[in-house]
Amino acid sequence: MKFDVIVVGAGPSGAFTAYNLAKNDYQVLLLEKESLPRYKSCGGAVSLKVKEIIGDIDLNNIIEDEVTKVVFTHNFQQPIDIDFYKPFTYMAMRDKFDNFLVKKAKKAGAKVIDSSQVVDLTRYDNQYRVKTEQEIFTTEYIVGADGVKSLIAKKLGLMNDLEYGVAYEKELKAGEERLVMQRGIIHLDYGMIADGYGWVFPKGNNLSVGVGTFKDGISLKKKLDVYIKEEGLSDSQVIRAKGHLLPIGGDKRQLNTELGLVVGDAAGLVDPLSGEGIFYALKSGLLASQVLDSVLSGRGSLDEYTELVNQQILTELKKAKLVSKIFFPFTKVAHKLFSKKEWILKQLIKIIYGEESYDDLYSSFKAELPFLRFKS
């Protein structure tokens, strides 16, 4: 059978692309190498700004917690509590969250095949042949939603110069008292690791504790053990421990060819300050499906996808990259500043849920830290 679009990878970017296309009656195949639902190493923070792109999809049944408060520390010292008194981030288990979107895609009419790793992609005439370990499929258009080390991006000749960070996470079974104390609250520590941060996130009956950095050569396992000790969680049972690469977003690149494009991590769309990737995975999936819809209806070209991502995602991530370059080398100074001017941290949270932009934060940094040199 020939498909209009084959989407490779059933994370949020792929599942949401497939869902939107299937809703519009296109013949869509979603291929996933793992058996679904699949585990994904992730903090599971899904910012409330996803609401603006998921439309009428109701996430209520898959939300483990709603975050209203953050405690920021610098190298485990000087806590600054920022209470928003209203949710700004959902917490989700990625196996449930991603599979929920896959089920939506299936219900909308997409064909989903899991345990099916794509091993090759070849173009002939005006179509692609997609080879899995078991079968060969043909398609008019191909979407690479296959994550940070995307085979599809490689085959399309895209994303050659992507840079990576890395994050390592443990899911802990903490005691009841700690779980209750942590409900609705996240802890973020910068200063304990260069160019990154540590986190404690509540996830229903567990806690996600992790460290991530955009710098090379750091032993994350050791850093995480120290962080877990400082958080008083050394006695907690470890349910899972896993690390994964993070693409560093913020640079404009070509994200499509004539008949193919990349979304989510495969397109390098992770916020270089916060590490947030789920929102950008969903947003790029939505943009991809809109452009594919036009092209399949005989209007325009896939180049519009790269333009839209540049305008609607990368302009913002570029600012995030600038802020990260200013913030990470000076976390100590910044933390002192934040303790006097909590509104800067509030602004950061407003960016997370979509009420403000990195432009606003960038301007605040410029105004407050004039001794630093800023380049746009």
Ligand X SMILES: Cc1cc2nc3c(=O)[nH]c(=O)nc-3n(C[C@H](O)[C@H](O)[C@H](O)COP(=O)(O)OP(=O)(O)OC[C@H]3O[C@@H](n4cnc5c(N)ncnc54)[C@H](O)[C@@H]3O)c2cc1C
Q: Tell me which residues touch ligand X (CB under 6 A).
A: 8-14, 31-34, 38, 40-45, 117-118, 145-147, 151, 167, 169, 210, 244, 246, 264-266, 270, 275-279, 281
**CB 255 → ligand X: shortest distance, Å?**
12
Q: How far apart are CA 289 and CA 285, in angstroms?
A: 6
Beta strand 69-74 pairing with 118-124: unpaired
Between residues 286 and 364, which has the closer beta carbon with respect to ligand X?
A: 286
Nearest distance in Å: CB 325, ligand X: 20
Shortest distance, position 367 Cβ to ligand X, whole Å: 29
- CB of 137 or CB of 365, closer to ligand X: 137
In whole angstroms, give the CA distance from residue 89 to residue 92: 10
Closest CB 151 distance from ligand X, rounded Å: 5
Based on CB atoms, which residue is closest to ligand X, 246 or 320? 246
Between 113 and 369, CB nearer to ligand X: 113
The CB-of-373 to ligand X minimum distance in angstroms stands at 31
Cα–Cα distances in angstroms (integers) from residue 3 to residues 149, 172, 260, in the given order: 24, 42, 13
Closest CB to ligand X: residue number:
277
d(CA 266, CA 281): 9
- Least distance CB 146 / ligand X (angstroms): 4
The nearer residue to ligand X, 196 or 364, going by C-beta atoms, is 196
Give whichever of 7 and 174 is closer to ligand X, judged by the CB atom: 7
